[in-house]
Amino acid sequence: MKLIKLKKAKIVKIDKQLLLEFSGEVIKYLSTSDLDSLSFTIEKGTIIVWKQFEIDIPEVIYSELSDLFKGNDEIISKWLQTPKAFLVNEAPIDMLKTERDIAAILDLINRIKTGDLS
């Protein structure tokens, strides 16, 4: 990960929301387009920015999570991005590459639904 200091960013308030506004130079550096999404966190006074990529969630996983979390996409997103001990401390979102990993995620979801967290 390359760390850069952003001196050309400012916070603006639009429709009662605080937004982080970057200069064109920063946008160019991050190689973003209108289809990309940037996320950020603030740690110890430093703003950490990363680019999010659209990831296709298999329908079966989304359906099971939607059932489990009553369709709350925010909770589903957080669950997918949080490392799970059952998945050897991997985040489910990082494990959508193989059928075996998808099966492990579905197994975890089923265990949560049935209360089997052993």
Kindly report, residue by residue over 23-78, the tens digit of the pLDDT: 776 667 666 665 566 666 777 777 666 666 567 789 999 999 999 999 988 889 88
| Residue 105 located in a structural domain | yes
For residues 63 and 110, membership in a common domain is answered with yes
CA 22 to chain CA centroid, Å, is: 21
Show the domain range for 27: 9-52
For residues 81 and 103, membership in a common domain is answered with yes
For residues 65 and 98, membership in a common domain is answered with yes
Cα-based distances in Å from 41 to 6, 46, 50: 14, 8, 9
Sign of CA dihedral 25, 26, 29, 31: negative
Cα–Cα distance for residue pair 21/50, rounded to 1 Å: 14
Kindly report, residue by residue over 68-113, the tens digit of the pLDDT: 999 988 889 889 989 999 999 999 988 988 999 999 999 999 999 9
Contacts of 21 (CB under 8 A, 6+ apart): 9, 10, 11, 12
